[in-house]
Structure 1
Amino acid sequence: MPGMSAAQDRPTYGPQLEGFQYPFTTERFSFSSQGQTLDMAFMDIAAENPNGRTVVLLHGKNFCGATWEGTVARLTSAGYRVIVPDQVGFCMSSKPAAYQFSFHQLAENTKALLEQRGIERATILGHSMGGMLATRFALMYPERTEQLVLVNPIGLEDWKAKGVPYQSIDAAYETEKKTSFDSIKQYQQTFYYSGQWKPDYDRWVEMSAGMYRGEGGERVAWSQALTSDMLFTQPVVHEFGSLKVPTLLMIGLTDKTAPGGNRAPKEIAATLGDYTQLGKQAAQAIPGAALVEFEDLGHAPQIQDPDRFHAALLDGLKRL
């Protein structure tokens, strides 16, 4: 059958993305955390004509450092040094079976990496889940945060407070074990890209799905289940007013992402993920925040329309 043949042709990767080639040289930062030795994979890309500034790119839950490929190229050509970590529990980094995942912990890990690289201050740019992490980093370490940039961050609303029921880690694990190329693509096409799809997106879906297909697939699924808990139980939206750093919000208005919406009652689910309002509300809550909206783009504007997104980003970095 054609569908079966296509499925068999999909790539398979190890639990730390063994077999997948990142676009720039990947290094590893080893450190001790919660009684175990872990490592964070990261890319440290030098600027072509350095302007003395550094940008740290934080990936989303369904993304990896590699998906920042186009953004890295644009930033380095504009003079920025760029650091791109894979957080513990994701992509090329360690996936401990037992770890207290929190945005505080991941922010501390990221700070340790930056210290090891000799970086005292940087622009912290987070996409999707990375936006929640970037916000937590800026709240914890304002003296190290030159600017905060949030690209379609999740966490602009408190799903639990709005009535989304909690999902246990065991239940999340059972769902994660069913993940496939088709399920990832269907989800992203529906919620990220407003029903549209470009062949270029397949590469990033194959990257994620390949980890689930490999021999370490259950380990990957377990790690994804563990990390899903902090999205739901550790909101940052209530602390936006405490941010003390220049902040830029970049929001694709067709985004429909709302973690937990699939298990919420229909009347509640219908109110979630309204980025036409969420970005504006966040901009009002964050002191002095600037807001850039892309009327026809969704959850990943940096992938969907790279030229327009990066022009706006570079402009925003100069103005903040």
Structure 2
Amino acid sequence: MSVFFKAQDLSALKPLDAELSTVTYPFPVQFKELKNQGQNLQMAYMDVKPEKANGKTVVLLHGKNFNGYYFEEAARSLQKEGYRVVMPDQIGFGKSSKPRQYQFSFQQLAENTKAIMDELRIDKFAVLGHSMGGMLATKMAVMYPDRVEKLILANPIGLEDYRNFSPYQSIDKLYAAELKNTYESYRDYQLKFYYDGKWKPEYDKWLNLLAGWTIHKDFPVTAWNAALTTDMIYTQPVVDDFEKIKLPTLLIIGTRDRTAIGKANAPKELQPQMGLYHNLGKETQKKIKGSTLVELENVGHSPHIEVFDRFIQPVIKFLN
């Protein structure tokens, strides 16, 4: 693999606390007070309103290694089209609370997201989920078919049941692995799976929001939450939910993507069979009746970052 990468000056990497309190998001951040599992929590979100509203709202659901911030460009494009855009940071992510004990489930995260929409008095909305957010978006489409009008899945993980390939890892083992992460390990993972070995300076922004945690005293807290959410992804597959979806659905699949949870722990002979998005997109389209598949050739796990124009065009066409 040819690697075109020039490391940034790590002296510029700033420690970031668990709630990213020193990070300024591109739009004003609001907080929804949640009473979850006997705890008082805060769920951060951005609510972006258009100048000329078309009456429609889109909810953008982030992936596991990200937060709502990385949807900035998508939000601005949708805003120009007249859409109201809501971008939550799920509990355990971004500026939201990082509980030390929490039963993470896609149902719980779906309820939390719905609570924001209830508070904003938005009855109907489209949902776009990327990566782990695609699993959450799938769950929301099944749980709230009377609220979700359209569904967009952008390189979602969970298109296969990872339990069929990789053995279970305890949360303690996952936590130990998370604590080993550094700027370099995050960079190497994203370089390989997201960007095909070709790094651009604009990718540093999203990498640094993860890497900054590793050099702050709060890292054990964020690492623990990361371990809990990895367990959620592995133990709560959504593959059986696809056939239950009755909404207009768009699948946007970067076919170069090979992301799969637990791949490193799978038997060597099974690893090449995991995360084959050029096959998984087609298989998932067959499961979701009437869905539309847009395949982006030679694009990796994050098409809205890597090839934004190719990503946003089918999104707007589908929503309109």
Paired position in structure 2 for 1:243: 245
In 2, the alpha carbon distance for the partners of 1:280 and 1:59 equals 23
The TM-score with structure 1 as length reference comes to 0.96
Note the alpha carbon deviations across 1:191-246, whole angstroms, 9 max, x for none.
Answer: 11122211110111001111222121111101101111110010001221111111
Paired position in structure 1 for 2:118: 115
Alignment of 1:47-58 (within 5 A): 47-58=50-61
Paired position in structure 1 for 2:30: 27
Paired position in structure 2 for 1:151: 154
Say how many residue pairs are matched: 315
Question: How far apart are residue 6 of structure 1 and its match?
Answer: 3.0
Alignment of 1:28-107 (within 5 A): 28-107=31-110
Alignment of 1:129-168 (within 5 A): 129-161=132-164, 163-168=165-170
Give the partner amino acid of 1:290: T
Give the partner amino acid of 2:127: I
In 2, the alpha carbon distance for the partners of 1:120 and 1:211 equals 36
Which one of 301, 304, 308 corresponds to residue 303 of structure 2? 301
> Is 2:47–2:87's contact at 8 Å kept on the other side of the alignment?
yes
Paired position in structure 2 for 1:214: 216
Unaligned runs of 5+ in 2: 1-5
RMSD (Å), alpha carbons: 1.3
The TM-score with structure 2 as length reference comes to 0.96
In 1, the alpha carbon distance for the partners of 2:109 and 2:62 equals 12
Give the partner amino acid of 1:310: I
In 2, the alpha carbon distance for the partners of 1:76 and 1:48 equals 8
Question: How far apart are residue 5 of structure 1 and its match?
Answer: 9.6
In 2, the alpha carbon distance for the partners of 1:155 and 1:146 equals 22
Paired position in structure 1 for 2:3: none
Which one of 281, 284, 304 corresponds to residue 283 of structure 2? 281
Distance 1:124 1:4, change over 3 A: closer
Indicate the percent of aligned positions where both proteins have the same amino acid. 48
Paired position in structure 2 for 1:200: 202
Question: How far apart are residue 110 of structure 1 and its match?
Answer: 0.6
Which one of 230, 233, 240 corresponds to residue 231 of structure 1? 233
In 1, the alpha carbon distance for the partners of 2:281 and 2:52 equals 34
In 2, the alpha carbon distance for the partners of 1:4 and 1:271 equals 31
Question: How far apart are residue 296 of structure 1 and its match?
Answer: 1.7
Question: How far apart are residue 270 of structure 1 and its match?
Answer: 0.8
> Is 1:255–1:298's contact at 8 Å kept on the other side of the alignment?
yes
Paired position in structure 2 for 1:263: 265
Q: Which runs of 4+ in 1 moved over 6 A?
A: none
In 2, the alpha carbon distance for the partners of 1:58 and 1:249 equals 15
In 1, the alpha carbon distance for the partners of 2:213 and 2:177 equals 15
